[in-house]
Amino acid sequence: MKLKLAFLTFIIFSTASFGQGNSKFKVVLDPGHGGKDYGAIYHGFIEKNIALNVALKVGKLLEKDPAVDVIFTRKTDVFIELTERPNIANKADANLFVSIHCNGEVKKTAFGTETFVIGTTKNASQLEVAKKENSVITLEKDYKVKYAGFDPNAPETLIGITIQQEAYRSQSIDLASRVEEIFKEDLNRNKRGVKQAPFWVLHKTAMPSILIEMGFISYLPEGTYLNSDEGQDDMAKAIAKAILSYKKEYFVNGDNSQDETPVIVIDKKQPKVEKPEVVEKPSKNTESNTPAASAKGVVFKVQIAASGKTLELVPSNFNGLSNITKDASSAVIKYYYGDTSEYNNAKELQEQAKAKGYSSAFIVAFKDGKKITVQEALKK
């Protein structure tokens, strides 16, 4: 039974992550809120409008790639039930689900971007974000029946993440990390990092999924930026660039056609949002054990898991595998098995990890301690 379950999980993962036949890379863009659900409102800035504008711009950029099929949960100012958003992605058999939002808080001092994956957390601020985004269900008829007793005011009660989502967790974190890095490196945005929280919309998707909080419209300088055409263009380019980067590494176009992925150029910019007088304290989770940090040249590792839980790096915690390293530089910790400079050896390590039950294990690459794509590593 366990063998069948592991095999099923592997098939699901492979289909969603790598593509098959001549199928296109399907991306579902989910502009948060809409219609009677305005989302956050501060200083005249309305979350539903900003999210829609950015999502439409992202879609236009992605559609320049003939191998990408873009699907929207909404393209106009309409109300879409929360439960319907992941259904759209699941019915489309999408490769990625990207939900786009703006943040807000009553003190009006917090600023910066953060990108979420599904997960449990005891962090109050992360639970508050999930609470706000999940609260839309109260606008729906019979929500207590449709959501099986889920309490949007207590998002930590969302438990029982499915096997599928566990299989996609590592890929979700990878995409979220790309988004946050591009926000920081290309736009000089304040990067609050990759986080996890119990979002209903991510809980029900059957593919790698992330929820992007583009910034706090409650903080006037950041809200002004996100509400501007320039700011929305910037954010759209950054999100599209991250998605295409992910596609280039994980998706194989079955017709073996030449890669026509468009290059998205983002002008290096000075910080557009000044720091407020009161700055939030950084997360206590500052432990960092970055893989290959001291290694020179190209190193391949196998990512076997990602979790908010810190585990001692002993074989008993990893189904008997040894030579485990971790990256605890964000709230979601990544665990890696092995390291080698040879790609063929890395494939053997990947098979060893799968044989130990890590059916969604995948190869990652580093150059002088910095993560790069596997394709870039092979060229080097």
Task: Give the model's pLDDT for residue 150.
Answer: 67
Among 16-25, 94-103, 146-155, the least confident range: 16-25
Task: Give the model's pLDDT for residue 126.
Answer: 77
Confidence of residue 11 (pLDDT cuts 50, 70, 90): very low
Which of 125, 150, 240 is closest to 201 using CA atoms? Answer: 150
pLDDT at 7 over 60: no
CA dihedral 356, 357, 358, 359 (to 10 degrees): 120
Task: Give the model's pLDDT for residue 148.
Answer: 66
How confident is the prediction for the chain on average, in pLDDT? 81
Among 26-40, 116-130, 310-324, the least confident range: 116-130
Q: Which of 193-202, 264-273, 287-296 has the highest mean pLDDT?
A: 193-202
Whole-number Å distance between alpha carbons of 58 and 154: 32
Which of 347, 65, 342, 375 is closest to 250 using CA atoms? Answer: 375
Whole-number Å distance between alpha carbons of 226 and 207: 28
pLDDT at 79 over 90: yes
CA-atom Rg of the chain in angstroms: 20
pLDDT in tens, 195-222: 988 888 888 898 999 999 999 999 999 9
pLDDT in tens, 322-332: 899 988 876 67
Task: Give the model's pLDDT for residue 355.
Answer: 84
Task: Give the model's pLDDT for residue 265.
Answer: 76
Crossing angle of helices 47-62 and 229-250, rounded to 10°: 50
Confidence of residue 347 (pLDDT cuts 50, 70, 90): confident
Q: Please compute the mean of the pLDDT values over residues 143-172 and round it to a whole number.
A: 65
Task: Give the model's pLDDT for residue 19.
Answer: 43
pLDDT at 164 over 90: no
Domains of the chain, earliest start first: 25-250 (3.40.630.40), 298-378 (3.30.70.1070)
